[in-house]
Structure 1
Amino acid sequence: MSDSPGARLQALFEGHRLTPTQRRIAHWMVRRAADVPFLSSVELAELAGVSQPSVTRFAVALGFDGYPALRKHLRDMAPAAEPVAERAPAEDGTLNEYQQAVHAEIENLRHLADLLADPEPVERAGRLLATSRPLLVLGLRAAAAQARGFAYFAAKVHPDVRLLDEAGTMLADRIDGAVRAGATVLLCFALPRHPREVVDALAHARSAGLTVVTVADSAFAPVARHSDLLLPGAVGTGLAFDTACAPMLLGRVLLEAMCDGLPDAQARLEEFDVKAAARGLFVE
């Protein structure tokens, strides 16, 4: 298990039934894990977009007397952590909103790198994906692009990839058909705002006996309770529409881990390159 600040926080939250507001606080604490031990309850409330009493109730829900006790616990967990003023890049007001969005995504990628310090969850997910025949890849609405991108590349090395990027009454039928064909795993990309249809599809998939691996924006996303293995990649929220660099990169990391579990992956890629050259598919 990784000893990163984010991993330690997630371990602290495990086993607690949190309200949607409390999940939002937990999500933002994980995103700013290195800074949280030095934030006041008011600062954390502003960061998460909740009230200060909500932060206090959240701390009590975790078993602490109040937020000061929680913050002391976090400081004791990471005594060498640096305060936010020393860690954050200097901002003198010269960054415009587009630059700020880029810097926020860089922070999301740094957080992802911290999580990947423990490669075991991704490696386990890769092994699961490699063994499923067929392999289902689900992504609706905002997450459809992530699912399509993964399925496009996965099909180059995996013998049977089935993309589920359209909702409706046929979705459950396609899941059932894949199970009859031998599928054992469904990979889901889930991004906010989370469609109810995705939650329903995952519940159906698990009831049909599938193992669900999910790439989501947070370990506390609504899809978490329907996932056997959840890999978080935070999204940026500074622009009118969310940015998803971390989930996209996490999808590519999963592809790499899946290739490691497919002994003929390299041969398939080389075969594709030969055929692509013969057909003149690409302009070099």
Structure 2
Amino acid sequence: MNESAAVAVPTERVRDLFHGVRLTPTQRRIAHCLVQHATAVSYLSAAEVAELAGVSQPSVTRFAMALGHDGYPALRRRLRELTTGSTGGGSSDDGNELQQAVRAEMANLDRLAGELADRGRIAEAGRLLAVSRPLPVLGLRAAAPLAAYFAYFAAKVHPDVRVLDDGGSLLTDRLEQAAAAGASALLAFVLPRYPRETFDALREARAAGLTVVAITDSPVSPAADHATLVLPAAVGTGLVFDLHTAPMALAMVVLQAICDAAPADTQARLEAFESSAARRQLFLG
């Protein structure tokens, strides 16, 4: 085994400790620090790890407990087992941590594609959302850009899309106003770290008689307790902040289902938009 491959083995073993574990951004900084210093980290104190990662020492302790250990000493013992064991059987073919994160997103998309083999639930979501006039779209904090992205395109085929991306008491007002105006369903983007206000809004939506369709990161997401229909798409956790590639793709799949549920209306609205865009010379090409 050459030197680079030998170094890659402990790196991969340390990285495997975090696979599938939901970590906060601070904890991910610690995880990246452990991966980057994989060959030496098992000999570092909690204070030294904290200094390397740029976090507090208590954060390192909480990180160890998030991984299921009693404290940092137990995690350090586990790291020593992983990094001083046999160096056989490893491979560096998957590249560095940045490449790993992108490849993990490819796996998330592949998993989503497999789940779409059964189109029934997506078609049901499309029917529920297509007939809701207006159509409220909820996305708070990290989910707000996805709600805006979906709504931008949905407005081309739906007459009244209302983005709900601010929390507080006004959010309940806007939900009630949408229901009073005739809304029958709500599309909610519910992504980690699951803002408390999101679930308050989902409860209010149900109380107002709205059917909740939730795009979230897992079938067992907390959103499942509040939604009529849950559409899961995994969130990438390989970098300090989440990657939302699969949820964004799923959002466009749901929009396609809305178009399929009302093809005549969709075509008429698209043609009207193209005519308006040409008249106003909106685009260069």
Output the TM-score relative to the length of structure 1: 0.68
Write the mapping of 1:128-143 to structure 2, written as runs, cut at 5 A: 128-143=128-143
Identity, in percent, stands at 57
SS in 2 for 1:118: coil
Residue 270 of structure 1: aligned partner: 271
Q: 1:188 to 1:91 in 2, by over 3 A?
A: farther
Residue 156 of structure 2: aligned partner: 156
Write the mapping of 1:222-233 to structure 2, written as runs, cut at 5 A: 222-233=222-233
SS in 2 for 1:264: helix
Residue 186 of structure 1: aligned partner: 186
Quote the Cα distance in structure 2 between the aligned partners of 1:91 and 1:260: 45
Residue 171 of structure 1: aligned partner: 171
Residue 258 of structure 1: aligned partner: 258
- Displacement of 1:91: 4.5
- In terms of mean alpha carbon deviation, does 251-260 or 216-225 score higher? 216-225
RMSD, matched Cα = 1.9
Quote the Cα distance in structure 2 between the aligned partners of 1:207 and 1:122: 24
- Conserved in 1, the CA contact under 8 Å of 2:151 and 2:161? yes
Task: Specify the code of the residue in structure 2 equivalent to 1:282.
Answer: F
Structure 2: give runs of 5+ residues left out of the alignment: 1-19, 22-65, 70-89
Quote the Cα distance in structure 2 between the aligned partners of 1:175 and 1:281: 33
Quote the Cα distance in structure 2 between the aligned partners of 1:157 and 1:248: 18
Q: 1:184 to 1:91 in 2, by over 3 A?
A: farther
Quote the Cα distance in structure 1 between the aligned partners of 2:279 and 2:157: 19
Give the paired residue count: 202
- Conserved in 1, the CA contact under 8 Å of 2:191 and 2:216? yes
Structure 1: give runs of 5+ residues left out of the alignment: 1-23, 26-48, 53-89
Quote the Cα distance in structure 1 between the aligned partners of 2:186 and 2:95: 41
- Displacement of 1:50: 4.9
Write the mapping of 1:42-81 to structure 2, written as runs, cut at 5 A: 50-51=67-68
Deviations 1:163-220 (A, max 9, x none): 1011111000100011111110000011111100001100110011110000001111
Quote the Cα distance in structure 2 between the aligned partners of 1:226 and 1:152: 25
SS in 2 for 1:223: helix
Residue 118 of structure 2: aligned partner: 118
Quote the Cα distance in structure 1 between the aligned partners of 2:132 and 2:94: 50
Residue 106 of structure 1: aligned partner: 106
Quote the Cα distance in structure 2 between the aligned partners of 1:118 and 1:94: 31
Residue 244 of structure 1: aligned partner: 244
Quote the Cα distance in structure 1 between the aligned partners of 2:104 and 2:215: 19
- Displacement of 1:143: 0.5
Q: 1:109 to 1:91 in 2, by over 3 A?
A: farther
Stretches of 4+ moved more than 6 A in 1?
none
- Displacement of 1:222: 1.5
Q: 1:173 to 1:102 in 2, by over 3 A?
A: same
- Displacement of 1:96: 1.5
- Displacement of 1:162: 0.8
- Displacement of 1:51: 4.2
SS in 1 for 2:200: helix
SS in 2 for 1:248: helix
- Displacement of 1:98: 1.4
Quote the Cα distance in structure 2 between the aligned partners of 1:260 and 1:274: 22
Quote the Cα distance in structure 2 between the aligned partners of 1:272 and 1:209: 32
- Conserved in 1, the CA contact under 8 Å of 2:157 and 2:270? yes
- Displacement of 1:99: 0.9
Write the mapping of 1:203-242 to structure 2, written as runs, cut at 5 A: 203-242=203-242
- Displacement of 1:93: 5.2
Output the TM-score relative to the length of structure 2: 0.68
- Displacement of 1:94: 5.9
Task: Specify the code of the residue in structure 2 equivalent to 1:206.
Answer: R
SS in 1 for 2:214: strand
